[in-house]
Amino acid sequence: MTPLTPLLLLAVRSAWNRRLTLGMTLLAVALSVTLLLGVERVRHEARNSFAQSVAGTDLVVGARSSPVQLMLYAVFRIGEATHNIHWQSYRAIAENPAVAWSIPLSLGDSHHGFPVIGTSSAYFEHFRYGDAQALAFSAGKPFAEIFDAVLGAEVAARLGYRPGDQLVLSHGMGDVSLAEHTDKPFTVVGILAATGTPVDRSVHVSLEAIQAIHLDWQGGAPLPGLSIPAEYVRKFDLTPKEITAVLVGLKSRAAVFKVQRDLNTRSAEPLLAVLPGVALDQLWQVVGIAERTLLAVSAMVVAVGLAGLVAVVLAGLSERRRELAILRSVGARPSEIFVLLTAEGLFVTVLGALLGVALLALLTALLGPLVQAHYGLAIRARWISSDELALLGAVIAVGLVASLLPGYRAYRISLADGLTPRL
Amino acid sequence: MPLETVIEIENLRFRWSQGNGFCLDIPAFEVRAGERIFLYGPSGSGKSTLLGLLGGVLVPELGRIRLLGSELTRLKPSARDRFRADHVGFVFQQFNLIPYLSVVDNVLLSCRFSARRRERAMAAGGSLHDEAARLLAHLDLEVALYRQGVTSLSVGQQQRVAAARALIGRPEIVIADEPTSALDAERQEAFLALLAGECLAAGSTLLFVSHDRRLAAGFDRELSLASISPACGEGKAA
């Protein structure tokens, strides 16, 4: 048996000889691999960033709806709550002897598309993200006065706010809002350090401030003829009537199911308490369908790329019958012809996969910051994960199997032709 | 020069499975070591089939083919391939060369598939490259061409490179199939002289197959395919 190395060298030189056509197929394979790995990476980073968004919280409590919906608005600040919960319900939760701490959240307003969170100082004290990291200030301090605001890192960076700047909140969510709380501007007093979670995209104010800006509002619109100037709001009772959700930390994690059951069954109004981990799993089940569809589509694109590769190698085969006959005449076995042609397809597949990885790294480096700015999704340049490695392995395995076809065809040709190619 | 038998065919019968009526039927054919044989056969007379049989890529229906004392017809396909690589050099009509390899790499192709010829070439020339260069120089190819791609060569030059590939590592048998048909008359003679001379130098037996009888001068023996395969010389050949 001829050693493999000269044979592979021959395959490489043959491929180089047809570098233009093979180069185009190589590019197609590389782009399809980039797409496949890109989808996988976005999927992974999205999951990661969701999982990082909440840590140390034992229960998330809101009005009764679906756990996924509650997680979406309370933790990820996506979408809106259909119902709020009464202040009394919140007080009952906060005073439950099993509860160590609770963070009230009041949602519904926004600032240039960024969600506004009405909360208490417990937020800065107890909120945890990632690996149980606490929030840190990159500038300023928590809110103290009624119209103080603390910005997430991204809000401050995108809108160019610094402590001392003034901003106006909009009623409702969405980038363009007709109803603005122009009469009650807020002052930036603090900016949080970046966390890579929805906190970065949030504007934090006190619950009292949320109450105050809606004093002269009813049913989502300013009351005609009624205007309460900012300086007089303190004369009113600013205790909130309703909040949207509560993040709860327990004294003992062992009590979590009992507290959850109590909240779900024995509260004065219909509440829903969920374990963040469980709700996340449910969320993944929903999102999983879309993820799998995306992955399937990109896998199809890879299949198209590899089919193109096989077509190109097969098409070149008819022009190479003489070459195969020459190789046979100097002693090449049909099996070596098979290896030669299979190696060519495999060679292009492997190079395409490597180029795809390089392209992905380049794209991540170039577009990562853009994606983070627009979608709040941190896609960092990093070494390929084991999942991505498995995908790459699958691509190369499919490439190998596909390359067996031109290899087999060449094998048949070399058996039929022998030393005299039939052209 | 020992007069041992290099090629020996006995009661050979071959028929294409497609059944176009063509067959080869050779009761007996012998070539002795060092002989230079001119085998005449018009196109369609079964030359290619005979070459395929001698090269071990075709297997006869009946009969025996013995090369250098080894019974080719009894070897496994892979052993026949190895035998061909080790002991037989081929020169074909034209397009003998691999387009993406340099002149020297085309010559050395024979050594890539045969350890025996690689060793013999190294023993003869000191290194593979030196031996290839020596053969190319003998075949009147300039040093400047060695590293070039073969597509820039003239047909005559290409045939000489092919001859060098057939000869490197001194195989016992060189089979040339119409190697001069693409050359003009003057170059045909020059090529023949070079090929015959190098076969003599390498101690190789030369089986030269052609439809052009004018080239037969200077060979030890002249035979026609029809005379060695009398029973079925008619019909369409591959």
DSSP at A180 = B
Q: Between residues A248 and B93, which one has the greater pLDDT?
A: A248
Question: CB of A365 within 8 A of CB of A372?
Answer: no
Render pLDDT for B58-87 as a digit per residue (tens, 0 to 9). Answer: 889 889 999 998 998 899 999 999 999 999
- The predicted pLDDT at position A233 comes to 78
Q: How many helices (H) and strands (E) does chain B have?
A: 8, 9
To test the contact with chain A by mutation, choose from B43, B88, B109 the residue with the greatest count of A C-beta atoms within 10 A, namely: B109
In chain A, which residues have their Cβ closer than 8 Å to the Cβ of B109? 326-327, 330
Residues in Cβ contact with B142 at an 8 Å cutoff, skipping those fewer than 6 apart = none
The average pLDDT across A374-394 equals: 81
Among the partner-chain residues A14, A330, A420, the one whose CB lies closest to the CB of B113 is A330
- The predicted pLDDT at position B67 comes to 93
Phi, psi of A31 (to 5 degrees): -65, -40
- The predicted pLDDT at position A9 comes to 87
- Judged against a pLDDT cut of 60, whether residue B22 lies above it is answered with yes
- The predicted pLDDT at position B145 comes to 84
The average pLDDT across B44-48 equals: 80
Q: Which of A385-389, B7-11, B202-206, B228-232 is least confident?
A: B228-232
DSSP string, A46-96: HHHHHHHT-BS--EEEEESS-HHHHHHHHTS--S--S--EEHHHHHHHHH-
- Judged against a pLDDT cut of 50, whether residue A22 lies above it is answered with yes
- Judged against a pLDDT cut of 90, whether residue A196 lies above it is answered with no
Q: Which of residues 138-197 of B touch A (CB under 8 A)?
A: 165
The distance in angstroms from the start CA to the end CA of chain A is: 29
Task: Count Cβ atoms below 10 Å from residue B1 Cβ, excluding itself.
Answer: 8
Render pLDDT for A69-102 as a digit per residue (tens, 0 to 9). Answer: 898 888 888 878 888 999 999 999 999 999 999 9
Shortest alpha-carbon distance between residue A363 and chain B (Å) = 35
- Judged against a pLDDT cut of 50, whether residue B1 lies above it is answered with no
The whole-angstrom separation of Cα B118 and Cα B114 is 6
- Judged against a pLDDT cut of 90, whether residue A237 lies above it is answered with no
The average pLDDT across A371-393 equals: 79
The average pLDDT across A177-191 equals: 83
- The predicted pLDDT at position A266 comes to 81
- The predicted pLDDT at position B235 comes to 45
Complex-level ipTM: 0.91
The average pLDDT across A109-128 equals: 91
Shortest alpha-carbon distance between residue B56 and chain A (Å) = 9
- Can you list the positions of beta strands (E) in B94-189? 173-177
Computed over every residue of chain A, the mean pLDDT equals 88
Shortest alpha-carbon distance between residue A401 and chain B (Å) = 24
- Judged against a pLDDT cut of 60, whether residue B181 lies above it is answered with yes
In chain B, which residues have their Cβ closer than 8 Å to the Cβ of A6? 112
Please indicate whether, in this complex, the C-beta atoms of A326 and B96 are within 8 angstroms of each other.
Answer: yes
Name which of A398, A392, A391 is nearest A307 in CA terms.
A398
Structural tokens at position A152: 């997430």
- The predicted pLDDT at position A214 comes to 83
Shortest alpha-carbon distance between residue A310 and chain B (Å) = 21
Question: CB of A120 within 8 A of CB of A204?
Answer: no
- Judged against a pLDDT cut of 50, whether residue B187 lies above it is answered with yes
Percent with pLDDT over 90 in chain A: 52
Q: pTM for the full model?
A: 0.77
